[in-house]
Amino acid sequence: MTDLKTENSNATIHWIDSNQQLAAICDQLRGATELAIDTEFMRSDTYFAKLALIQLSDGEQCWLIDVPAIEQLQPLKQLLSGEQLTLIFHACGEDLEVLDQALGLRPTKLFDSQVAAGLVNVGYSMGYARLVNELLQVELGKEDTRSDWLLRPLSERQKQYAADDVYYLFKLYKLLHASLQQQGRVDWFAEEMQAVLEAAAERRAAVDYYLRVKGAWRLNEKSLAVLRQLCEWREETARSLDKPRSHIVKDNVLLELADTQPTRMGQLHQIDDWYSRSVKRFGEQVLQQIADVDQSNPPQELPQPLPRAVNEVMKKMRVSLNDVAEQHEIPKELMCNKKELESILRSASEGECQWPARLTEGWRGAMVVPALQLVLDNSDL
């Protein structure tokens, strides 16, 4: 185990690259209640990310875990799954996905510094380096952001960069947690973290991808059934081959296949954006999928884009939300998203307004719903 000091701090960095070292560190940290965590991974031409490094810090020491060098990661999963342990991330979405793939890790207690910074009005969607500079007046190096983290050995500068990602994250956590308490927004933050965990579970399921295909609303029920089937086939194929979805078939090609429903290989070669090599490899499978679509239970047609008149109401809603956000000193991005506004307007234009649960059951209810209702009451829908 190699130890060194960071240039920017007094933290000691421990390089962990064996089963024995990992087991010892996990045993040492077993009683921890808070750990900052980050990952470095590569994903350029694969479906699954290649995890290269896991960084941990307790605010005084940093551990860099060389994942490719270690075969027995179970002690780490047990450590990070502890019910008493709060895992501290910054913008945790991809990290949660990668840790789930590599360790089967699904933590129960999270602290995301990006979300916390938004709720205490430091700034929403602020990058880690900028947030460190803003709150700690420390300027972090950016030279190694795009490093190939799978190459070995890592340079000392890379190790310092990786350690800084968690060392200062722990300090951010202390400051932001105190601010949440001072502003009485700890419960708000807990709601947001629960929503993050639920979103991670939805991404794991990867169901109904066809709903995310741009332009799918133009298809009728029969074509939507084909698109749904093709998306499910592509997901299974991408996973089994460990290739990105777009390397199998691109979204726009799936949309065209669902719309035209070809029956012969010659028709597939006429699709502009589908390379002949991929057609040769996957064409027969695609034709079989189209032929096998069960039309007895087609999905419902997707709603069309909102008409221009309704979009004008949405603009007024956004203005109202901005006013509320300024009044309560909350970034406007946290108040309500575009998908929720569209859902509200669509249901209201159909005669009965339906409010998303996130807006009525949590901290947003007292401020968001009245502001939007006032706009609806003064609109002709």
Of 36-40, 251-255, 329-333, the poorest mean pLDDT is in 329-333
Residue 353 lies in a domain: yes
For residues 98 and 152, state if they share a domain.
yes
Q: pLDDT (tens digit, 9 = 90+) per residue, 1-10?
A: 455 444 455 6
For residues 269 and 365, state if they share a domain.
no
For residues 223 and 372, state if they share a domain.
no
Of 261, 291, 321, which residue constitutes the final position of a domain? 291
Answer whether residue 264 shows pLDDT above 50. yes
On whether the pTM is more than 0.85, the answer is yes
Distance CA(92)–CA(110), nearest Å, equals 9
Residue 297 lies in a domain: no
Residue 236's CATH number: 1.10.150.80
For residues 185 and 219, state if they share a domain.
no
Q: pLDDT (tens digit, 9 = 90+) per residue, 168-198?
A: 999 999 999 999 999 999 999 999 999 999 8
Q: pLDDT (tens digit, 9 = 90+) per residue, 294-310?
A: 888 889 999 888 888 89
DSSP letter at 55 equals E
Domain total of the chain: 3
Q: Which of 50, 78, 63, 255 is nearest to 159 (CA)?
A: 63
Answer whether residue 160 shows pLDDT above 70. yes
For residues 20 and 38, state if they share a domain.
yes
Phi-psi sector, 261: left (phi>0), alpha (psi -120 to 50), beta = left
For residues 126 and 61, state if they share a domain.
yes
For residues 280 and 324, state if they share a domain.
no
For residues 105 and 230, state if they share a domain.
no
Of 95-99, 193-197, 205-209, 376-380, the poorest mean pLDDT is in 205-209
Q: Provide the domain limits for residue 342.
A: 308-377
Answer whether residue 371 shows pLDDT above 60. yes
Distance CA(114)–CA(126), nearest Å, equals 7
The per-residue pLDDT for 7 is 46
Residue 165's CATH number: 3.30.420.10
The per-residue pLDDT for 1 is 47
**Residues sharing a CB contact under 8 Å with residue 49, sequence separation 6 or more, in sequence order:** 41, 42, 43, 94, 97, 98, 101, 102
Distance CA(193)–CA(176), nearest Å, equals 14
Distance CA(60)–CA(44), nearest Å, equals 34
Residue 303 lies in a domain: no
Of 147, 177, 205, which residue constitutes the final position of a domain? 205
For residues 182 and 223, state if they share a domain.
no
What size, in residues, is the chain?
381
Contact 356, 343 (CB under 8 A): yes
Answer whether residue 284 shows pLDDT above 60. yes
Residue 298 lies in a domain: no
Answer whether residue 206 shows pLDDT above 70. no
For residues 191 and 217, state if they share a domain.
no
For residues 147 and 257, state if they share a domain.
no
Direct distance between the N- and C-terminal alpha carbons of the chain, in angstroms, rounded to an integer: 67
Residue 267 lies in a domain: yes
The per-residue pLDDT for 125 is 80
For residues 86 and 140, state if they share a domain.
yes
